[in-house]
C-alpha cells in the first residue's frame, strides 16, 4: 500500500516509516506540519493516510481538520487518525460524512504492531477502526437507555462491532462460534431497534450512528 504520513514528532515519524516499510508498505510522503498535509494528500492520493491530530504551527487539531478537508475533496480517501488522547467529538466528526475508510486510534496502539497493521488495512479497505476507549465512552454515561437491556455478552459483541471488527475477529476474540456471533448481533440490532443490515461496514456505521445520537 502507498501511505502518506503526517506526524510532527521526528521520533514517531521515523518509527512509523520504519514500521510500515518493514512490512512492505510504501511511504509516498511525510508531512511534518499542518499546512503540508493537504497538498501531500492531493498530490500523492495514497491508499491510506496516517495523520496525527495535533500538528504545528498551532498545535491544536490541524491534522484532524486536514483529514476532514481532504475527505471533502477526495470523498473515499481512507484516513487513520492517531492521537495522544481520544475525544468522542472527533470520532463523531470523522464519521459524520457517512462514508467508510475511517480510523481513529490512540497513538499507544501502534505498539501492538499486528493489531495496528490490521486496523490500517481495514481502513484502507473502506472499513472502520475505532479505539476501544472511544467505544467505551460511547457505551457509558447514559441513563435508562436500551443498552441496559443487552446481556454482558451482547455488550462485548457490540463493543467489538463498534471498533470495526468483522464477525470472524469477534468470534476469535471472544472464543465463540461464528454462528453465535451472528445470533448476538441479531439480538443487539433487535434490542436497539435498528433495521437489520448486511454485515460489513454499513452495519458499523448504523451502530455508531445510534451510539452517537447521545
Partner 1 sequence: MSTPRPTSMRQALDWADRASMQLLMGAGMALLSYVFIGVLIFTAVASVIVIGLGVLPETVLMLRRMAGFKRRQVGRWSGTAIPEAYTPLTGTLVERVRKAVKDPGTYRDLRWLFVHIVYGLALLYVALPLWVIGVLVDGVWCGLLGRRAVVLPLLGRLADLDTRWSRALLKPSPEAERNAELAERVEELTVTRAGAVAAHGAELRRIERDLHDGTQARLVALSMRVGLARRAYDKDVTDPEAIRRLLADAQGQAEEALTELRHVVRGIHPPILTDRGLVGAVRALAASSGLEVAVRDDGVEDGPRAPAAVEAAAYFVVAEALTNAAKHSGARRATVELTRRAAGLRISVRDEGRGGADESGGSGLLGMRRRVAALDGTMDVASPTGGPTEIGVELPCVW
How many Cβ atoms sit within 10 Å of the Cβ of residue 210?
Answer: 18
Site for partner 1 in 55-94 (CB under 8 A): 59-61, 84-85, 87-89, 92
Regarding 179 and contact with partner 1 (CB under 8 A), the answer is no
Regarding 108 and contact with partner 1 (CB under 8 A), the answer is yes
Binding-site size, partner 1 (CB under 8 A): 24
Contacts of 213 (CB under 8 A, 6+ apart): none
Nearest to 164 by CA among 144, 194, 134, 193: 134
> Shortest distance, CB of residue 105 to partner 1, whole angstroms?
13
Site for partner 1 in 127-166 (CB under 8 A): 137-138, 140-145
Output 27 or 208, the one with its CB closest to partner 1.
208
Nearest to 105 by CA among 87, 73, 81, 127: 81
Residues of the shown chain interacting with partner 1 in the complex, contacts defined by CB under 8 A: 53-54, 59-61, 84-85, 87-89, 92, 106, 108, 111-112, 137-138, 140-145, 214
Amino acid at each position: 500500500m502507498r501511505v502518506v504520513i503526517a506526524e510532527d514528532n521526528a521520533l514517531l515519524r521515523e518509527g512509523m516509516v520504519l514500521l510500515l516499510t518493514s512490512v512492505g508498505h510504501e511511504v509516498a510522503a511525510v508531512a511534518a506540519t499542518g499546512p503540508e498535509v493537504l497538498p501531500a494528500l492531493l498530490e500523492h492520493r495514497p491508499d491510506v493516510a496516517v495523520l496525527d491530530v495535533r500538528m504545528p504551527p498551532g498545535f491544536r487539531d490541524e491534522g484532524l481538520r486536514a483529514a476532514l478537508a481532504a475527505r471533502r475533496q477526495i470523498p473515499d480517501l481512507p484516513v487513520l487518525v492517531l492521537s495522544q488522547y481520544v475525544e468522542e467529538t472527533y470520532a463523531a466528526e470523522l464519521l459524520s460524512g457517512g462514508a467508510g475508510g475511517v480510523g481513529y486510534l490512540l497513538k499507544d496502539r501502534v505498539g501492538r504492531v499486528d493489531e495496528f497493521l490490521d486496523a490500517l488495512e481495514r481502513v484502507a479497505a473502506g472499513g472502520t477502526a475505532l479505539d476501544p476507549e472511544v467505544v467505551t465512552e460511547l457505551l457509558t454515561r447514559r441513563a435508562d437507555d436500551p443498552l441496559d437491556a443487552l446481556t454482558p455478552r451482547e455488550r462485548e459483541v457490540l463493543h467489538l462491532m463498534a471498533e470495526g471488527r468483522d464477525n470472524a475477529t469477534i468470534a476469535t476474540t471472544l472464543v465463540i462460534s461464528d454462528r453465535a456471533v451472528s445470533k448476538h448481533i441479531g439480538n443487539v440490532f433487535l434490542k436497539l431497534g435498528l433495521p437489520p443490515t448486511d454485515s460489513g461496514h454499513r452495519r458499523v456505521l448504523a451502530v455508531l450512528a445510534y451510539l452517537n445520537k447521545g
